[in-house]
A and B are shown apart, each in its own frame.
Chain A
Amino acid sequence: MNDRRLENMIGHLLRAGVFLAAAVVLTGGAIYLAHHAFDRAEFHTFAPGGPDLRMASGIVQSAAHFRGEGLIQIGLLLLIATPVLRVMMALLGFALERDRLYSTVSLIVLLILAYSLMFMS
């Protein structure tokens, strides 16, 4: 395992994650538009949605009922997970290289991300 191979693996993993997220978002978007294609688009005033669009548990429930908006949010959660996965992969790679300095640095970044993602649980 060297840096070049590690970066390559991470790059491919990220792209796969983004394509998966895009496929889910596209599916959700198609379901949403099938029901709402001719609704008026009004986004001038800000009104935060309910917990089904703002909290991880609510989003999962909404998507489980095949609601378009819930599926889009699931796709976006997958997208948000790709950089987190990248840091995890880097941590694993640095650990395999027995690089203590950069294993520690990666772990710190991962803990910071975990802290911030707790806001929506």
Chain B
Amino acid sequence: MWEFTAVIWSLSALAGFLGALTGLGGGVIVVPALTLLLGVNIKYAIGASLVSVIATSSGAAAAYVREGFSNIRIGMFFEVATTVGAIVGAMLAGCVGTHALAIVFGLVLVQSAYQIMFKAAPESAAPVAPDALASRLRLNGSYPVGGESKSYGVCNVPAGFGMMFGAGALSGLLGIGSGAVKVIAMDRAMRIPFKVSTTTSNFMIGVTAAASAGVYLHRGYIDPRVAMPVMLGVLAGALLGAKVLVRARVRTLRIVFGVVIFALAAEMIVNGLMGRI
């Protein structure tokens, strides 16, 4: 048992580091690591993953906030969509086969990873004009660039809201933070700067995951013997990852993020085809 605990802790620390660095949360890396490498039942893996998602989000929050990247109003407004989605997803998980969903979503993610890596808008692009709804909701904000405060606008709010509901449903269905979809909704659809998107996403995934935690605990997916090393490992990795993020360049971040999305896509498609999800 102690070796099992030590191996899970180490894998989880790595997952937490990558999760914080990319805004994905450690979940998408923890689940395949536990199931494919250690033969842990996917239900235990998903339960521990959900816990790790909360640890990643809350543990790194203070570091992100200090740098002034995250936007609390954007986070709170779209959490209405992600939490409702998470409950719907967690309930659906009990009665719907998820193979098809996993495959379709994997394909969508391949496309998104391609866009992020090869069709990235340059960081110095003129800020977009916010649409009327975003202004009424006061979603527009500013973030630090080279010691100066730079303001940005938000657009396509209804589309973003719909995507956030989908992100929440996926989170509840698979026990992941689905930070990838949240970042795509903010970065691609709503034209929010990438660093603001990733840090706000990291802030949101904890609240989203908490919305399905009650259902998961009740179903027995959260086993203390698996969740303990996962939570402690991910937390250590996430704290380190948050320190590195602030120094990382956006171009590098996009590539890292794109590669991680590709890996996530492959994981979902393979698991879906083999009927493991």
Q: A109 with B83: in contact, given A46-B41, A117-B214 (CB under 8 Å)?
A: yes
In the complex, residue of chain A having the shortest beta-carbon distance to the beta carbon of B226: A43
- Chain B interface size, as a band, is 35 or more
Complex alpha-carbon distance, A25 and B223, angstroms? 12
Q: Which of B146-190 contact A (CB under 8 A)?
A: none
Complex alpha-carbon distance, A105 and B84, angstroms? 13
Q: A120 with B218: in contact, given A44-B41, A72-B227, A83-B54 (CB under 8 Å)?
A: yes
Q: Which of A96-121 contact B (CB under 8 A)?
A: 101-102, 105-106, 108-109, 112-113, 115-120
Q: Which of A1-38 contact B (CB under 8 A)?
A: 3-4, 6-8, 10-12, 14-15, 17-18, 21-22, 25-26, 28-29, 32-33, 36-38
User: Hey, which chain A residues are within 8 Å of B227, CB to CB?
Assistant: 72, 76
B138 interface residue (CB < 8 Å to A)? yes
Contact pattern, B 217-244, Cβ under 8 Å of A = 1, otherwise 0: 1111111111111011001000000000
Complex alpha-carbon distance, A17 and B61, angstroms? 11
User: Hey, which chain B residues are within 8 Å of A37, CB to CB?
Assistant: 1-2
What distance in Å separates the Cβ of B52 from its nearest Cβ neighbour in chain A?
10
* Cβ-defined contact, B215 with A116, below 8 A: yes
Q: A105 with B220: in contact, given A11-B61, A15-B59, A119-B215 (CB under 8 Å)?
A: no
Number of A-B residue pairs with CB-CB distance less than 8 Å in the complex they form? 194
B206 interface residue (CB < 8 Å to A)? yes
Main secondary structure of the interface of A (DSSP, over half): helix
**Which of B58, B84, B229 meets A112, CB within 8 Å?**
B84
User: Hey, which chain A residues are within 8 Å of B225, CB to CB?
Assistant: 32, 41, 43, 69, 72
What distance in Å separates the Cβ of B22 from its nearest Cβ neighbour in chain A?
20
Q: Which of A58-99 contact B (CB under 8 A)?
A: 68-70, 72-73, 75-76, 79-80, 82-84, 86-87, 90
User: Hey, which chain B residues are within 8 Å of A38, CB to CB?
Assistant: 1-2
Complex alpha-carbon distance, A96 and B217, angstroms? 34
User: Hey, which chain B residues are within 8 Å of A101, CB to CB?
Assistant: 137-138
User: Hey, which chain A residues are within 8 Å of B224, CB to CB?
Assistant: 28, 32, 53, 68-70, 72-73, 76
Chain A interface residue count, CB cutoff 8 Å, equals: 65
B265 interface residue (CB < 8 Å to A)? no
* Cβ-defined contact, A116 with B4, below 8 A: no
**Which of A3, A17, A55, A108 meets B58, CB within 8 Å?**
A17
* Cβ-defined contact, A4 with B68, below 8 A: yes
User: Hey, which chain A residues are within 8 Å of B215, CB to CB?
Assistant: 116, 119
Complex alpha-carbon distance, A87 and B206, angstroms? 11
In the complex, residue of chain A having the shortest beta-carbon distance to the beta carbon of B86: A116
**Which of A21, A90, A120 meets B217, CB within 8 Å?**
A120
* Cβ-defined contact, A29 with B229, below 8 A: yes
User: Hey, which chain A residues are within 8 Å of B5, CB to CB?
Assistant: 29, 33, 41
**Which of A44, A75, A109 meets B79, CB within 8 Å?**
A109
Complex alpha-carbon distance, A10 and B210, angstroms? 16
Q: Which of B19-76 contact A (CB under 8 A)?
A: 38-41, 43-44, 51, 54-55, 57-59, 61-66, 68, 70, 72-73, 76
- The 9 A-B residue pairs whose C-beta atoms are closest, nearest first, are A48-B220, A11-B65, A41-B4, A11-B62, A72-B224, A83-B206, A119-B214, A117-B214, A15-B62
